[in-house]
Amino acid sequence: MTKLKVAVVYGGRSGEHEVSLRSAESIINNLDPARYEVTRYLVSQQGQWSSAPILPAPGTNPNIDVVFPITHGTFGEDGTMQGLFELADLPYVGPGVLGSAVAMDKELAKRVLRDAGVPVVDFLVQRRGELDPDAIIAKLGLPAFVKPANLGSSVGISKAKTREQLIESLEIAARYDTKIIIERSITGREFECSVLGNEQLQASFPCEILPEREFYDYEAKYILDTTRIELPANLDANQTATIRQLAIDAVRALDCQGMSRVDFLLETATGQFYVNEVNTLPGFTSISMYPKMWEHSGIGYAELLDRLIQLAMDRHARRKATQFHR
C-alpha cells in the first residue's frame, strides 16, 4: 500500500509555540507508520521554517499529500497558515480560512454566535491606547475577565476584581493584541466538548474542568498538575444533550470543518450554558482534552488522526469540484 505523505506543521510565532511542539510530537508518535510517511515542518518563534517551506503554488509541493497543521494561536490557527495551504492547493486538517479567522477573533466569533442564537456571555471591546476601565465597570461590573481578542491557551487572560486589577489586566492583555475583549464574570462551572466532521458534525461526550486556581489559565493547563478533569461530565441527560447540540450549533455557525473544541460556562444561578469560545486547532498533547473526549466517546487517538486526515482529503476533493472561473 502506498503511504500517504503527511506534512506535520508545528511551532509558529504565537505564545503557544511550546504547546504546539508537544502536540506535534504526540501526533507524530500516533500516526500509523504503515499508512503514513511523515515529514516535519517546524516553524520557529521568529517565523523561520527549519526545512524548505511549503510553497504557495499548486504542484510545487510534490512530497505532500495532506497537511496536518498543529500551529496553535496567531499566525497558525487564525487563517493565515490555512491561506497558505489553499494557495498551494493542498488538503489540510482543520477548519478553513474563514472559520479559522472568525473563531480566532473572540469579538467576531461572539457576534456570529449571538446572531445564530447561540448563547454567549455579555462582553465589550476596547482598543490598545483607548482603554477605559470606568466604562467597563459601568456596563459589566466587577469581577470581569480581560482577554486579548486573538490568542489561545489562556495567554494574557486575567480576572479583575477591583478597578486597580482591571487597569493592570487591560495593560497585560494589550501586550498581546491591539483589541481587548472584556466579559462579564460567570459564577459556575467550566466544560468542554469536542466536535468532529465536515458537513455532518458529531459531538463527543463533554468533560468538566475543575481547576484548583481561580480559572483554567495557562499554568493550570500546561505547567501545574493540579487541574482535575471529570470525564464524562457530571450532567444529567438533558444537560448533556444540550451541551452537545450547542457545540455543533457553534461550530456550524462559525463555518468550521474537521475538528473543533468548544468551551462552555454553566452559570449556577440561571442554569444557562454559554459558549465561551471555539478552538479550531485544539491541543493534542498527552493531557489534551480533545482526543481524550473522543477516546471516551469510542474513537481512539490513532483512529481519530485517521478520521481527521480523511476529512481533510474529502473536503479538498469537494472543493476541487468547485468551478472558480467562467
The residues assigned a catalytic role are 16, 153, 222, 261, 263, 277, 279, 283
C-beta atoms surrounding 45 within 10 Å: 12
DSSP state of 145: E
d(CA 277, CA 257): 16
DSSP secondary structure of 36-67: EEEEEEEE-TTS-BSSSPPPSSTTS-TT-SEE
C-alpha distance from residue 301 to each of 39, 59, 306 (Å)? 20, 31, 9
Beta pairing class for 188-197 and 144-148:
unpaired
**Cα dihedral 255, 256, 257, 261 in deg (nearest 10):** -150
**Cα gap 158→166, rounded to integer Å:** 9
Q: Which amino acid is at 250?
A: A
Q: Which residue has the cell 470525564?
A: 231
Distance, CA of 124 to chain centre: 21
Q: Decide: 195 and 181 in contact? Cβ < 8 Å.
A: no
Vertex 290, ends 232 and 101: CA angle to 5°? 135
Give the separation between CA 179 and CA 129, rounded to whole angstroms. Answer: 10
Q: Where are the beta strands (DSSP E) in the chain?
A: 4-11, 36-43, 66-69, 123-127, 144-148, 158-160, 179-184, 188-197, 202-203, 207-210, 228-230, 258-267, 273-279
